[in-house]
Chain A
Amino acid sequence: MKAARKKRLYLILLIVTGVGVAAALALNAFNQNLMFFYSPSEVSAGKAPSDYPFRLGGLVTDGSVKRLANGLTTRFDVTDMDKTVSIEYTGILPDLFREGQGIVAHGKLRPDGVFVADEVLAKHDEKYMPPEVAAALKASHEKGVTEAARESGS
């Protein structure tokens, strides 16, 4: 390679590395701001803001979805398999909202530790399968669970 071309090649590599390092540093510094939501563990640890709204994400706990007496407000728990936070939301829930589903709620933490949401978004996971496959997976999972329970019981 001719000297001039080599110089240009190195210059371009230098630009790419330089911009890359700068971007990495900037993104690292803003890491917390780039998080779309806080997890229940972070909320429990007091990392989430208590005085202004933020987003809380997690899986809806099985059997936790209840309608409150006024008929409009839904109360449910979200978990990250470690800590759990209760959410109250008044309004229409998205199609994908169901128990076991990931959701992201926007709202504020009440002093009693309940998260009052003004918006609930369903988070879709990366799995795609037809209903019969999902049913078969669920059946084999339940079979595994009952077998495990029987083994531990005997």
Chain B
Amino acid sequence: MLRFFHQLGSPKHFYRIAGSWIPWLAAVCGLLMLYGLYQGMVVAPTDYQQGDSYRIMFIHVPSAWMSLFIYVVMAAAGAIGLIWHMKLAEVIAISSAPIGASFTFLALVTGSIWGKPMWGTWWVWDARLTSELILLFLYLGVMALYGAIDDKRTAARATAILAIVGVVNIPIIHYSVEWWNTLHQGPTVTKFGAPSIDIRMLIPLLVMAVAFKLFYLLVVLMRARVEVLERERNARWVRELVEAP
């Protein structure tokens, strides 16, 4: 087991192992997403107040969860890269940033589309919406900083520090709806006690959440493989890989 993790830490073995996981991940993720979308869009009952408009939450809520989750993964990987100088952690951290930014963007856009008919406005500057927008800027900042520094190891160290500093925003986003009066509603699922959502709506939501997690895993492995190849382009195993017929 330990040896497996040790191997995973070496770029060469990571490239091979991740490559063998990708088709399986893609298949399971695709099936779960289709099942979750069908359950959410067709099978789940309509809401007593919002009618069918609430169905956008099957995209919005998992996206918002992923935007926080990926940030924590990115910062943790960045910290591991800083402390143990582990190359693969740096690669995972920087490969996560565009995926996290996309999920944040998706959460903001779907929320906005839902907000117009339900709240009566596309956007308000309440604590939840504003802190989520700051999260998008943090992701974009991490990507820009990494791109601005030529030496990739220095770049990884600088972005890791930015990512770690930004972690302070994560609890603020999560608790914003409890600490302050916001237009955005409070937590439905991630709270103490029973979730205040019908079980037939909750299950598709959780299926979508798992599908989104797998999607992230799939895309981060694909991106990390490319990043590893680029960083190790002078290593012998890459040359052998490329020159192999």
A146 to chain B: closest CB distance in Å? 22
Chain A positions within 8 Å of B183 at CB level = 36-37, 104, 121, 123
Are the CB atoms of A23 and B172 closer together than 8 Å? yes
Chain A residue with minimal CB distance to B167? A16
Tell me the complex Cα distance, A130–B127, Å: 29
Question: Quick one: given A5-B84, A15-B161, are A34 and B127 in contact (CB under 8 Å)?
Answer: yes
- Report the nearest A residue to B129, measured CB to CB: A36
Main SS class of interface, B: loop
CB distance from B9 to the nearest CB of A (A): 15
Give A29 Cβ to nearest chain B Cβ, in Å. 14
Q: Using Cβ atoms and an 8 Å threshold, which residues of chain A touch B56? A: none
Task: Give the residue of B118, B120, B125, B198 whose beta carbon is less than 8 angstroms from that of A130.
Answer: B198
Q: Which of A34-52 contact B (CB under 8 A)?
A: 34-39
Q: Contacts of A119 on B, CB cut-off 8 Å?
A: 120-121
Give the one of A12, A37, A128, A134 with max B CB within 10 A. A128
Are B187 and A15 closer than 8 Å at their CB atoms? Answer: no
Instruction: Compute how far the CA of A94 lies from the CA of B49 in the bound complex, rounded to whole angstroms.
Output: 12
How many residue pairs link A and B with beta carbons under 8 A? The number is 115
Pairwise interchain contact A39-B181, C-beta atoms closer than 8 A: yes
Chain A residues positioned under 8 Å from B164 (CB to CB): 12, 15-16
Chain B: interface size category: 35 or more
Query: Which A residues are in CB contact (< 8 Å) with B120?
Result: 93-95, 119-122
Q: Which residue of B lies closest to A24 (CB)?
A: B168
Give A19 to B164 CA distance when docked, in angstroms.
10
Q: Which residues of A contact B201 (CB under 8 A)?
A: 128-130
The answer to whether A57 and B168 touch (CB under 8 A), given A129-B47, A133-B198, is: no
Residue of A nearest to B200 (CB): A130
28 contacts between A and B (CB under 8 A): A9-B83, A15-B165, A16-B168, A19-B168, A23-B168, A27-B172, A34-B179, A36-B124, A36-B125, A36-B180, A36-B181, A38-B181, A94-B119, A94-B120, A96-B118, A121-B119, A121-B121, A123-B185, A124-B49, A125-B186, A126-B185, A128-B197, A128-B198, A129-B48, A130-B48, A130-B200, A132-B45, A135-B48
Ranked 8 nearest A-B pairs via Cβ: A94-B120, A130-B45, A134-B48, A36-B126, A126-B188, A128-B197, A131-B48, A129-B198
B-side residues, CB < 8 A to A, are: 45-50, 54, 57, 79, 82-84, 117-121, 124-127, 161, 164-165, 167-168, 172, 179-183, 185-188, 196-198, 200-201
